[in-house]
A and B are shown apart, each in its own frame.
Chain A
C-alpha cells in the first residue's frame, strides 16, 4: 500500500501488536512462573515468584501416584511409532497413485478424498468396541495397550497424508525415472532409490505433522487406555487437574512446560510447510 502513514498511526500499530503479544504470552509466562514457584497453588500466585525453586519439577519425576515421566515417555513413544508407520504406509500408497495408471485408480482417489472428510474420532465408540473384540483374540493389541493406540493413529491419517504425498510426488519429473529405467533399474529400485530420496522434504513434514497430531490427541487415547501407568500425557494431565486444580497448579505448570517445549521446537522447524501443507490439504491443526 502506498498510503501515507502518519507517525502516530505507526506508534498505534506497534502498540496494538504489543498488546496482542501480551495476550499471547500471558498464559505461557503465567504457567512458566508457576512452575518455578514452590507454592504449588493457584491462590495468590504473583507473576514473578518470590523465590525460584525446582521443587515442582522434582515432583514430576518422583511422584508415585502420578507418573508424569512415564506419561511423557508413553506419548513420545506412541507418537514416534505411529508417525513412522503412517509415513511408511502413506509413501507406499501414494507412489502408485502418482505414477501408474491402473484399474480403480480414480475410484481409489475418490475414496481417499471421501474418507478423510470424516475425523476418525467420530467413530470412537466403534473403535472402542473393535478393540474390545480384538482383545478376545489378541490380548496384546486389545483395550488398554499401546499397540491399540498406535494402530489407531496409523490408520487415522492415511487419507489426508496420501493426498498430500501424492500431490508432492506429482511434481517430481518423470524423466529421472525414465533414465533409471533405461539403465536397468527395477520397479522397486526406482521407488526406493529415486522417488523416496526426492520426497524427503514432504516425508519430514508429514512425519512432524503426524507426530504433533498423535502427541496432542486426547479422546481416542482416553477411550482406549485406562491404567494410570499406560496413559498418554494428554490424558494423564487432564485427569490430574480435573480432580483438584487449585492445589496442583505448580506441578501441572511444570509438566505443561516440559510437555510443550519439544512440540514448540518441532513446530518452528516446519511452520512454513504446515501452512502451505494445510493450504492444499484443507486441514487444521488440532
Chain B
C-alpha cells in the first residue's frame, strides 16, 4: 500500500526529529551533571521509540502523547509539590548545596597587609577589554593581566613597547596607555575587573594600585564544614545555611530537606498559624456560602421559569445566563470598579438613597460580603440551568397527588421539589463546593486577598483563601518567596479536595463506572 509507506516515512521522520531534540537535551543535562533527570529522559526516549517502532503496542501509540503531557504537566508537578513541602526552597535557599558552596568560596577579603601592585591600563578601541600591566610594589616584578588571567613578563618582553623612550612602557600590542583622566573615566570598568593569582584574587584598590585579596572560606568536604580562613571558625550546615557556634549564618543558603518543619510552622508558630487559621476557616465559609447563595437563587429562578404558560421564558433565560457567558476575570474586575469605596457606583447609590457609604475593599467583613455578592452574580446562572434540568425530570403526578392531599405550595416545595432536586444535583453541588474552595480568580482579582490581617508575619489577607494564600507566599513581590511553606499549604488543599471528591465519587458511582469498563 502506497499510503502505508507514506505514513511510515512520516512517522519515522517525526520520531527522528523527536530523538534529535531529546538527545540534544540529554547532552545538555549531562554537561550540567543533572543525572536524575537525565536518567528519566533516557528511559522516556527508550519507551517512546519502542512504542512507535514495535507492532505489539497498538493502543499505546494513541495514548502515549496525551500521557506524556499529563505526566509532565500534572502528575510530576503534583509530586514535586509534595517534595517541595518538605524543603526550605525559597528566597535565600534557591541554590543547591554545591552551588551555594562555590558561591561562598568565591568570597574574598583584603588581608591587613596585602601585597599591592601599581597598575597601568592599556586600551585599543571601545570593544576590546582593557589590558593591565602590574608592577609588584615590593620586588618590581611585572605581570600582564589579560581577560582575568595573570602572566608574569620581563621588561624585555617584545609585546611591551616604550615608543617615547622615557623609560615608561606606553604601548602593549597596539594598545595605548591610558592617561590618569582616562583611568578615572573607566574606573567603573576597572573596579569590576578580577584577576586570579595563585589561590587569591587581584582587585582594584585605588587609582594607582591593585591589591591581592585572599579567599575567605574553604569547604572541608570530609567533615562537611565551611572554614573561615581568617579566624579558622567553622560553619556547619543547619537548615540550609552554614552556621557557626554563635549562630551567625553565611549567605547564600541552599535548599535542603527539612522534614515536617513547614507543617509544624503552620500549626505552632503563632505569627504564622494565627493568620493561617483565619484563612483556613474563611476558605470553608466562602465555599459553603458560595454554593448556598448561588444554588438558592438559581433554584428560585428556575422554579419561577418552570411554567409552560409563562410568556418570554426563552428571552428571560438568555438574559439571565449572560453573567455566566462573560469571562470571570472581566466581570470580577468590573465589579471591583463598581465597589470602589470612594468613587464606585455602589456607594454612590447608597448615598443617594440616604444611607451611608460602606468601606468595601478596606474592611474585612464588607469585602467578604462584596465577594459573596459578586460570586452570586457569577454563579447563579449555572445553578439555574442545572435546576431547570432537574425540575423537568420531576414527574407532575407527584404534585397532583400532593394537591389532592391538600399540600400547600410551600409544602410541595419542601417535601417534593427540594429533596428531588438535591438528590439529582448533589454531586454537582459538591463539585461546585470544591471549585469555589479553589476559586482563585474571584478572590485575587477582586481585591488580591486584602485587606491585610494585622500582625501577620506571612502575607495573609482577610479575604485570602488557601489557594490565593499559597500564591502570595510564593510570588508576592517584596516579601520574598517561601515555596516550601506554600507547598505545605497546597498539600492541605490536596487532602481536602481529595476527601471531598472521594465523597462525591461514592455519591455518583464514578468508581463503578471505571469498574464497568472491565
Contact = CB atoms under 8 A, between A and B. Distances in A.
Contact of B518 (A106, A112, A237): A106
Nearest to B332: A238
B92 interface: no
A130 interface: yes
A123 B80 CA distance: 8
Nearest to A258: B330
Interface centre among A90, A155, A212, A245 (most CB of B within 10 A): A155
Given A96-B63, A259-B330, A275-B385, A17 B58 contact: no
B301 A28 contact: no
A241 B336 contact: yes
Contact of B335 (A27, A152, A279, A283): A27
B345 interface: yes
A88 to B, nearest CB: 8
A237 B329 CA distance: 9
A263 B438 contact: no
A contact residues, range: 35 or more
Contacts of B493: 122
B326 interface: yes
Nearest to A95: B62
A45 B501 CA distance: 46
B475 interface: yes
Contacts of A138: 25
B74 A156 contact: yes
Interface in B439-489: 439-441, 444-445, 448, 467, 470-471, 474-475, 483, 486-487
Nearest to B424: A279
Nearest to B75: A115
Contacts of A30: 334, 338, 345
Given A13-B310, A115-B75, A130 B474 contact: no
B contact residues, range: 35 or more
B190 to A, nearest CB: 32
A218 B490 contact: no
A207 interface: no
A196 to B, nearest CB: 12
A158 interface: yes
A120 B74 contact: yes
Contacts of A24: 319-320, 322-323, 377, 381
B386 A2 contact: no
A142 interface: no
Contacts of B307: 1, 5, 13
Interface in A9-33: 10, 13-14, 16-17, 20-21, 23-25, 27-28, 30-31
B333 A158 contact: no
A31 B344 CA distance: 12
Interface stretch (A52-60, A62-70, A171-179, A248-256): A248-256
Contact residues of A: prevailing secondary structure: helix
B319 A90 contact: no
Contacts of A123: 74, 77-78, 80-81, 490
Contact of B490 (A21, A122, A158, A268): A122
Given A122-B467, A125-B486, A130 B80 contact: yes
Given A219-B440, A234-B329, A42 B323 contact: no
Interface centre among B59, B490, B501, B517 (most CB of A within 10 A): B59
Contact of A286 (B73, B80, B328): B328
Interface in B296-334: 297, 301, 304-307, 309-310, 312, 316, 318-331, 333-334
B432 interface: yes
B467 A121 contact: yes
B409 interface: yes
B331 to A, nearest CB: 6
A100 B59 contact: yes
Nearest to B493: A122
A96 B396 contact: no
Contacts of A31: 334, 337
A93 B66 CA distance: 6
B343 A158 contact: no
Nearest to A253: B334
A17 B301 contact: yes
Contacts of A106: 514-515, 517-518
A60 B426 CA distance: 45
B498 A20 contact: no
B327 A259 contact: yes
A108 B66 CA distance: 12
A131 B212 CA distance: 41
Nearest to A247: B343
A157 to B, nearest CB: 9
A137 B24 CA distance: 9
A122 to B, nearest CB: 6
A216 interface: yes
Contacts of B81: 122-123, 125-126
B260 interface: no
B77 A27 contact: no
A162 B337 CA distance: 39
A159 to B, nearest CB: 7
B326 A282 contact: no
A123 B67 CA distance: 18
A89 B377 contact: no
Nearest to B309: A5
Contacts of B448: 242
Contacts of A180: none
Contact of B428 (A13, A92, A278): A278
Contacts of B66: 89-90, 92-93, 158, 162
A264 B155 CA distance: 82
A109 B59 CA distance: 14
A130 B312 CA distance: 53
26 contacts: A2-B403, A3-B403, A17-B316, A21-B316, A30-B334, A92-B62, A93-B67, A100-B58, A102-B59, A109-B517, A115-B74, A120-B74, A122-B490, A124-B470, A128-B475, A155-B74, A158-B74, A159-B74, A187-B58, A253-B337, A256-B330, A256-B333, A259-B330, A282-B428, A282-B508, A283-B431
The 4 closest A-B pairs by CB, nearest first: A155-B73, A123-B77, A93-B66, A96-B59
Interface of B: 4, 7, 25, 28-29, 32, 58-60, 62-63, 65-67, 69-70, 72-78, 80-81, 84, 89, 297, 301, 304-307, 309-310, 312, 316, 318-331, 333-338, 340, 342-345, 377, 381-382, 385-386, 389, 396, 399-400, 403, 409, 412, 427-428, 431-432, 435, 438-441, 444-445, 448, 467, 470-471, 474-475, 483, 486-487, 490, 493-494, 497-498, 501, 504-505, 508, 510-511, 514-515, 517-518
Given A93-B65, A216-B327, A222-B475, 11 more contacts: A2-B400, A17-B301, A25-B319, A92-B62, A110-B511, A119-B438, A136-B28, A137-B32, A241-B336, A264-B325, A271-B325
